[in-house]
A and B are shown apart, each in its own frame.
Chain A
Amino acid sequence: MNIHEYQAKEIFARFGIPVPPGKVATTPAEVGTIARELGKPVVVKAQVHVGGRGKAGGIKFGKTPDEAEKVAAQVLGMNIKGLTVKKVLVTTSVEVASESYLGLVIDRRAKKPVFMASPAGGVDIEEVARTTPEKIFKMHVDPCTGLLPYQARFLASRLEKDPKLQAQIASIAHKLWKVFWETDCSLAEINPLVRTSQGEVIALDAKINLDDNGLFRHTELETLREGENQHEKAAREMGLSYVKLDGSVGCCVNGAGLAMATMDLIKHYGGEPANFLDIGGSSSPDKVLTAMRIICSDPGVKAVFFNIFGGITRCDDVASGIVKALKEIDIKVPIVIRLTGTNEERAREILKEANLNATTLMDEGVRQALQMAKGGVN
């Protein structure tokens, strides 16, 4: 789960990482009020779940509260990479003397968390990693010991020369490690970490991605979820994985790998998938019903393809779900079903009673679905 900068900064502040004072706002008037409270020139920052906000014009300065209100009116409602800005973070403007980068992720190859530090801050760190990897210093953290003091000192020494500044950075590194490990982050990043002209080190920006698998033990963080549409929400609450795409063939599949392979096969035969949807392992008829509601609410869908290989998933459950969906939802598009595996015979009987057929082969099913999506007859 991705969270906004203002939410990440609240978590940072809770763990003692210094951030510029600020508040979140949804209207220009609120921005003006916050700027007056802060009593200093401010920065108005768009809160959207994409990178490159600055370049897109989503970060603007306001020297006075009136000016802050004016720029907020420009930023609020603007479109950044397809997302509408509904919230802005208003923080005091900081005089920056230098910028660096400090971040933590899970290194999938080493199977350990890894700290990354770079004096090249404020820019796209993935770009730095590609073009000048020597500017990124990496340090794996052993989960048994946590970040050791010498490691924090080493990271700090790569970013600043002054021992006083190094001590501040080392302290921030320890706190960032605690944020990362104690809240189950998959990424915790300060970019840029800045030295102000007053010689203070603070986190000017904050980015946190939370490990979805860890959320059950941080229920308070669940309230930070934003930017999810009603279909994604319905899917998640039903235990389905759903990702909307732009094609015409809706997919309903059991298992993530098979669901991806189904999308690829649709493309292979000249079509475009409308979505990724994994109904998961033990699939009740109700899950299928929810899946159908979500898929059929997409106006781009011209045909729905079921691809079920029964293992734990029982084909008869899926068949019952399909029949139920046809009764309860006004489905205007044709349905093509491929199913095989556990309780396949029973499933075929259920489908037959409802005048539905099913193929056993995935390739054949995909080809039929494509034909139906193009308006052909089965």
Chain B
Amino acid sequence: MSILVDERTKVIVQGITGRDGSFHTKTMIDYGTKVVAGATPGKGGTECVGVPVFDSVREARQATGANASIAYVPYSFAADAVHEAFDAGIELVVCITEGIPTSEVVKIYGKMKSLGVRMIGPNCPGIISPGKCKVGIMPAQIHTRGNVGVVSRSGTLTYEVVNQLTKAGLGQSTCIGIGGDPIIGTNFIDTLKLFQADPETKAIVLIGEIGGTDEEEAAEFIKSEVKKPVVGFVAGQTAPPGKRMGHAGAIVSGGSGTAAEKIAAFKKSGIAVADIPSQISGLVASLLK
């Protein structure tokens, strides 16, 4: 098992003919992901890196029976792409794009909830179930199959942690980057529920950062619902208040959303907190003993 994506995942790439789209489609295929179609308006009937391209997601899905999509679409068109995928019956959309207006993500979230479907992201590296399926832009070679579930608001910091886990002999069931924006489709709690229910996942690593209260809510949830060991880390302890730290969602505003509050909430819920990233694999190993 693993969560959300595995051998049965059939993926449509939205924006496949773009520079990023074609490059990452190739890396996903090389990894063994079943990329069944691409969708780019006006490019229907062509092929891109060996994958048939359709004008719309609807046609692509009808022709291939795809159940997931990944959007490599510029920020001004990305919200439309996600709506298109949902309206075509796609159940899981991974939205890599950074820079989508928050108001558009709010609208997508409303549709997502009413249809009972899921978006991962936006502004995220995607998701990988090592050895099975990669729907994202992460460097595949650092991952290895195993029992640790990783969920994070960050991209490269996640790679850092995963690389370390792999080197320590701790493989991963699924690694998911949920995105650095203030509003995201899938949050920590959504992911924790799935990891708790997944028999392959034996321990969970949760990587948070400043801004919002997702970590605090996750801590509450872990205390009451998660029976598996959890290791936590929060980035941004030295971030000044009121300044956006790269990610649109990473900002301490009105004195709330600080790293100190989140770390305190983690500790209160019995989560093993790493002071620095390089402690994470050691903590996971000790909890899995």
* Chain A residues engaging chain B, CB cutoff 8 angstroms: 106, 108-109, 111-113, 126, 129, 142-144, 181, 184, 186, 211-214, 216-217, 241, 243, 245, 253-261, 263-268, 273, 276, 278, 281-282, 309-313, 340-342, 361-363
B138 interface residue, CB < 8 Å from A? Answer: yes
B137 interface residue, CB < 8 Å from A? Answer: yes
A340 in contact with B163 given A245-B240, A260-B236, A309-B156 (CB within 8 Å): yes
Contact of B245 among A112, A254, A276, A363 (CB under 8 A): A276
A360, closest chain B residue (CB): B163
B102 interface residue, CB < 8 Å from A? Answer: yes
Closest CB-CB distance, A280 to chain B, in whole Å?
8
A363→B156 contact, CB < 8 A? no
B183, closest chain A residue (CB): A111
B93-126 at interface with A (beta carbon < 8 Å): 98-103, 106-107, 109-110, 125
The 10 A-B pairs of least Cβ separation, nearest first, read A257-B154, A256-B246, A255-B156, A257-B157, A214-B101, A260-B235, A241-B246, A278-B246, A258-B156, A260-B236
A272, closest chain B residue (CB): B238
Complex: A152 Cα to B135 Cα, angstroms: 44
Contact of B110 among A126, A142, A311 (CB under 8 A): A142
Contact of B102 among A106, A126, A241 (CB under 8 A): A106
A311→B159 contact, CB < 8 A? yes
Binds A, one of B59-67, B80-88, B274-282: B274-282
A184→B101 contact, CB < 8 A? yes
A213→B125 contact, CB < 8 A? no
A108→B276 contact, CB < 8 A? no
Complex: A212 Cα to B207 Cα, angstroms: 25
A256→B250 contact, CB < 8 A? yes
Closest CB-CB distance, B263 to chain A, in whole Å?
11
B139→A310 contact, CB < 8 A? yes
A261 in contact with B106 given A212-B248, A311-B137, A340-B163 (CB within 8 Å): no
CB-CB under 8 A from A282, the residues of chain B are 20
Complex: A75 Cα to B161 Cα, angstroms: 51
B255 interface residue, CB < 8 Å from A? Answer: yes
Binds A, one of B8-16, B32-40, B194-202, B209-217: B209-217
B101→A143 contact, CB < 8 A? no
CB-CB under 8 A from A112, the residues of chain B are 106, 110
* Chain B residues engaging chain A, CB cutoff 8 angstroms: 20, 75-76, 98-103, 106-107, 109-110, 125, 137-139, 142, 152-160, 163, 180-183, 207, 209-210, 212-214, 217, 233, 235-240, 243-250, 254-255, 259, 275-278
A143 in contact with B107 given A186-B102, A213-B101, A363-B276 (CB within 8 Å): yes
SS class of chain B's interface: helix, strand, loop or mixed?
A: loop
A257→B278 contact, CB < 8 A? no
Complex: A245 Cα to B242 Cα, angstroms: 13
A183, closest chain B residue (CB): B103
Complex: A142 Cα to B114 Cα, angstroms: 13
A216→B102 contact, CB < 8 A? no
Q: 21 A-B contacts, Cβ less than 8 Å apart?
A: A106-B102, A126-B254, A143-B106, A212-B248, A213-B101, A256-B246, A257-B153, A257-B207, A257-B209, A257-B250, A261-B160, A261-B277, A263-B236, A309-B156, A309-B159, A309-B160, A309-B163, A311-B138, A313-B156, A340-B163, A361-B278
A211→B277 contact, CB < 8 A? no
B99→A259 contact, CB < 8 A? no
Closest CB-CB distance, B72 to chain A, in whole Å?
11
A256→B101 contact, CB < 8 A? no
Contact of A111 among B98, B109, B125, B213 (CB under 8 A): B109
Complex: A341 Cα to B99 Cα, angstroms: 25
B183→A257 contact, CB < 8 A? no
B139→A258 contact, CB < 8 A? no
A216→B76 contact, CB < 8 A? yes
Complex: A35 Cα to B9 Cα, angstroms: 69
Closest CB-CB distance, A301 to chain B, in whole Å?
16
CB-CB under 8 A from B139, the residues of chain A are 310-311, 341-342
A241→B157 contact, CB < 8 A? no
B233, closest chain A residue (CB): A261
